[in-house]
């Protein structure tokens, strides 16, 4: 599950009509705001785009067809929060009801910690792959959430997104133009959709975090290529990781490969350290950057590039979570949790 950052003090999003433009007068605020100069992260949960969802989803736009192929994504009904048995260990943020920020310090593990990270990563991967088998026309994302929730609980783990701040569900389901943090709801998947399923589990005190983009039915070649290249970006980034490697090389190799195929790279959402806490240092940028820092033996973090066919600019819905491309163009994402080893990097979220 990506965290969010801003390298600029303010980010604005504009909506262009035939002859008029609408520009928000408030900054685009995400869950986290990252100040690269001060290495500071502050929480931002204001309803910045209150009213903008209405602009996107007014009567004229509700059934708008994008490129003559699909309807613009719009919110469905969200079911009540699913219960978790008392015997399941919950992350501290659930009981505190406070929205956690990015914890300072790297997630570096001893032998016992590494084994626990492998276990949580393996379970997250198993859940991710199971969820992918459920992707079919007519299935709702809420049904996927229910299945994911039950599988995680049955394996003695806690679904990390549930109760993280105000997030009401156990998995993120991001369909078509949704960049990330889509809330599962009553919308049935349609033939030709693509969907990113982002799974994080908390098992024995450690988080395993992963996502993949799946095809629903008959997907066109344009969408297939976007998904393929996004996966290639993740694979290329992991291949260069190892002790002493600068984090900024991750952003460069992803950005270079995306540019080769003329795709946009979303800059506002980033990879992160993960382990005993859900989101920790380092902040892993997926675009070219000059941020300092290098990888350390036995540390764990995520890499999770998000690519777009069209605009890379994000718009947040009024739910303060769902983020979509401003032009409704397709977006894809893949994510792994990795462990830095003496020989390079081990992918923990495989099964």
Q: What is the pLDDT of residues 89-125, one digit of tens each?
A: 999 999 887 778 889 999 999 999 999 999 999 999 9
**Domain span including residue 212:** 108-347
Predicted confidence at residue 98, as pLDDT, reads 74
Pairing of strands 314-316, 40-43: unpaired
The answer on pLDDT for 13 being more than 50 is: no
The answer on pLDDT for 66 being more than 80 is: no
Residue 198 labeled ligand binder: yes
Q: 63 falls in which pLDDT band (50, 70, 90)?
A: low
Q: Is position 35 within any domain?
A: no
What's the CATH number where 235 sits? 3.90.230.10
Q: What is the distance, to the nearest Å, from the Cα of residue 10 to the centroid of all Cα atoms in its chain?
A: 21
The answer on pLDDT for 15 being more than 70 is: no
| The residue to which tokens 């462990």 are assigned | 339
* pLDDT per residue as tens digits for the range 330-351: 999 999 999 999 999 999 999 9
Mean pLDDT (the chain, rounded) = 86
The answer on pLDDT for 40 being more than 50 is: no
Q: Is position 9 within any domain?
A: no
| The residue to which tokens 């492998």 are assigned | 118
Q: What is the dihedral of CA 266, 267, 271, 272, to 10 degrees?
A: -150
- Concatenated DSSP letters for 14-54? EEE-SS-EEE-SS----SEEEETTTTEEEE----TTTTHHH
Q: Is position 116 within any domain?
A: yes
Bridge partners, 40 (sequence order): 35
**Which is nearest to 259 in space by CA: 233, 234, 283, 280?**
233
Q: Is position 1 within any domain?
A: no
* pLDDT per residue as tens digits for the range 268-291: 999 999 999 999 999 999 999 999
**Which is nearest to 125 in space by CA: 198, 182, 181, 230?**
198
Residue 272 labeled ligand binder: yes
209 touches 259 (CB < 8 A): no
Q: Is position 242 within any domain?
A: yes
Kindly report the pTM of this predicted structure: 0.86
Q: Is position 42 within any domain?
A: no
Q: Is position 86 within any domain?
A: no
Tell me the C-alpha distance between 231 and 33, whole Å: 27
Which tokens is 106 given? 């790297």
Q: What is the distance, to the nearest Å, from the Cα of residue 132 to the centroid of all Cα atoms in its chain?
A: 16
Any residues with CB less than 8 A from the CB of 228 and at least 6 apart, and which? none
Residue 64 labeled ligand binder: no
- Concatenated DSSP letters for 329-340? --EEE-BEEEEE
Residue 246 labeled ligand binder: no
* pLDDT per residue as tens digits for the range 293-318: 999 999 999 999 999 999 999 999 99
175 touches 327 (CB < 8 A): no
Q: 200 falls in which pLDDT band (50, 70, 90)?
A: very high
283 touches 19 (CB < 8 A): no
In the chain, how many domains are there? 1
How many alpha carbons lie under 13 Å from residue 210 in its C-beta half-sphere?
28
Q: Count CB-CB contacts under 10 A for residue 42.
A: 12
Which has the minimum average pLDDT: 25-39, 193-207, 261-275? 25-39
| The residue to which tokens 């204001």 are assigned | 46
Residue 335 labeled ligand binder: yes
Q: Is position 21 within any domain?
A: no
Any residues with CB less than 8 A from the CB of 67 and at least 6 apart, and which? none
299 touches 43 (CB < 8 A): no
């Amino acid at each position: 599950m990506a965290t969010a950052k801003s390298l600029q003090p303010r980010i604005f999003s504009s909506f262009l009509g035939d002859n008029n433009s609408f520009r928000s007068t408030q900054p685009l605020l995400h869950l986290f705001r990252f100040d690269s100069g001060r290495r500071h992260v502050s929480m931002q949960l204001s309803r910045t785009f209150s009213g903008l969802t209405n602009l996107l989803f007014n009567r004229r736009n509700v059934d708008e067809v994008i490129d003559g192929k699909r309807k613009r994504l719009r919110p469905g009904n969200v079911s009540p929060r699913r219960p978790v048995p008392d015997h399941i260990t919950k992350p501290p943020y659930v009981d505190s009801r406070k929205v956690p920020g990015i914890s300072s310090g790297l997630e570096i593990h001893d032998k016992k910690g590494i084994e626990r990270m492998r276990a949580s990563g393996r379970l997250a991967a198993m859940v991710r792959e199971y969820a992918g088998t459920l992707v079919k026309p007519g299935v709702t994302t809420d049904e996927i959430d229910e299945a994911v929730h039950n599988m995680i609980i049955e394996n003695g783990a806690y679904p990390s997104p549930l109760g993280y701040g105000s997030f009401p569900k156990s998995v993120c389901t991001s369909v078509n133009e949704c960049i990330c943090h889509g809330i599962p709801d009553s919308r049935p998947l349609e033939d030709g959709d693509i969907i990113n399923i982002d799974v994080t589990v908390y098992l024995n005190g450690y988080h395993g975090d992963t996502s993949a983009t799946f095809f629903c039915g008959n997907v066109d070649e344009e969408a297939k290529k976007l998904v393929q290249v996004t996966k290639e970006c993740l694979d290329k980034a992991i291949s260069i990781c190892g002790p002493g490697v600068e984090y900024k090389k991750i952003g460069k190799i992803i950005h270079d490969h995306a540019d080769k195929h003329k795709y946009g790279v979303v800059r506002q959402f980033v990879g992160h350290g993960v382990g005993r806490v859900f989101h920790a240092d380092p902040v892993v940028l997926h675009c070219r950057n000059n941020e300092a820092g290098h990888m350390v033996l036995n540390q764990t973090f995520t890499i999770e590039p998000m690519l777009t066919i069209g605009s890379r600019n994000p718009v947040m819905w009024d739910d303060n979570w769902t983020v979509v491309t401003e032009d409704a163009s397709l977006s894809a994402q893949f994510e792994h949790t990795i462990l830095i080893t003496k020989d390079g990097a081990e992918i923990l979220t495989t099964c």
